[in-house]
Amino acid sequence: MSVLFAQGFLAAGHASGIKESGGLDLALVAVAADAPAVAAATFTQNLAAAAPVQVSKEHFERSSHKVAAVVLSSGNANAATGAKGLADAKLMCNLVADGLGVLPESILVCSTGLIGIPMPTDKVQSGVAQLVKMLGSSPSDGLQAARAIMTTDTKEKLTAIQGSNFRLGGMAKGAAMLAPNMATMLAVLTTDAAVSDEDMNVCLRKAVESSFNRLVIDGCTSTNDTVICLTSSKAGKVDLDEFQSVLTKACQSLAMQMALDAEGATKCVTVNVVGAASDTQADIAARKVAGSQLVQCSFYGADPYWGRLASELGSSGAEFDLNRLQVTYGSTVVAKQGITVAHDERELKQYMSERDLEVTCDLGLGNGSAFIITTDLTPGYIAENMRTS
């Protein structure tokens, strides 16, 4: 399962004391070979990118996209931590490189947790040294690694897909600050498909665009987002279309697990916008609707208040004509040509009480379409986010 599903990888998880709770907080995913692996990676676009993101970007370029291992920590984001933060992130890479006998630039590093707090360097130092020794020591290594990257996640997020002649698996974390252009999320995917780094890069970007980048929970883009895909190439050549399809499915599975585990959420809602002037316009409109606090509150209340959708569509910046709008909750059409139409209110009420909802706004303007996955806004989200400790 997880990052060990494909051939040729080792993993480990360890509790180093970064988390005051004493929970697992360090993870390692390494290629079980002498040479580093072909890899692709995407990083947050936040200009306040954390130290591990800066270091990983630099290493990824310097190593010409060849990666021997990824070390990840949770409980502290190592973001807004200045020169010491950069030194801490590099230290993590150096310790892993020493342990594995590879160059530091072949190591990527990810962190997730609170921003603006210096890393406890001593704990990180002894923890990472220990972590490297643990690689491959337990049959539950893959699960331990996935658990070691959790923060407010209530469960680990895993995927494993069998292709016709290759395997692809992965792990992820993320439960809030989920927004366009990558969310507060880390994901490591591993495969044994022999794919070039150029192809891997193209495939990963496409997969991320139609999975993680479709999630809008709270409109916040994190300082630490990172998605990395490594291949051991052990399964030999594969059909690239099939590889793309499997990688996209894996990312979509992880993204959906994030939505279902979003902080305080009780519903997972797919917002479809169709009939837009273009796909880009549909995307703009769907993001505005899905990201609206008022709309998210109405999902929490199981209230099919389509007027709020209309209002958000009208202020999204996308082309819009209220007189052409049709709104459907599930399979119940509630508005046509911009006004409420008679519908089975009992059936609709029943539908709104379900956990997974789908809302479709047909703008009646063209053939553009897009979807965004979001959740409801609940008191649980506020309780989770009102204090850092």
Catalytic positions are 184
Tokens 């989770």 map to which residue? 384
In the complex with a second copy, the residue whose CB is nearer, 79 or 107, is: 79
**Phi and psi torsions of 290, nearest 5°:** -65, -30
15 vs 365, which CB is nearer to a second copy?
365
Name the maximum alpha-carbon separation found in the chain.
70
| CB 235 to a second copy: min, Å | 38
Q: CB 48: neighbour CB atoms within 10 A?
A: 13
Site residues (CB under 8 A) for a second copy, limited to 228-287: none
Rounded to a whole number of angstroms, the minimum distance from the CB of residue 302 to a second copy is 8
Question: What CA–CA distance (Å, rounded) separates 40 from 27?
Answer: 19
Judged by CB under 8 A, the stretch of 17-25, 115-123, 164-172, 250-258 that binds a second copy is: 115-123
Q: Do residues 104 and 73 make contact, with C-beta atoms less than 8 angstroms apart?
A: no
Least CB distance to a second copy at residue 138 (A): 34
80 near a second copy, judged by CB under 8 A: yes
Query: Which whole-number Å values give the CA distances from 225 to 77, 120, 145, 222, 245, in the listed order?
Result: 10, 21, 17, 6, 23
Restricting to residues 322-341, name those near a second copy by CB under 8 A: 322-323, 325, 335, 337-340
Site string for a second copy, 122-151 (x = CB under 8 A): ------------------------------
Q: Are 323 and 337 spatial neighbours (Cβ–Cβ below 8 Å)?
A: yes
By CB under 8 A, tell whether 177 contacts a second copy. yes
Binds a second copy (CB under 8 A): choice among 55, 135, 247, 377? 377
Query: Environment class of residue 301 by beta-carbon count within 10 Å: exposed (0-12), middle (13-18) or buried (19+)?
Result: exposed
Indicate whether 176 belongs to the interface with a second copy (CB under 8 A). Answer: yes
Number of H-type helices and E-type strands within the chain: 11, 16
Which residues contact a second copy (rule: CB under 8 A)?
A: 45-49, 77, 79-82, 84-85, 114-118, 176-177, 179, 181, 218-223, 291-294, 297-298, 300-303, 305-308, 310-315, 320-323, 325, 335, 337-340, 377-379, 381-383, 385-388
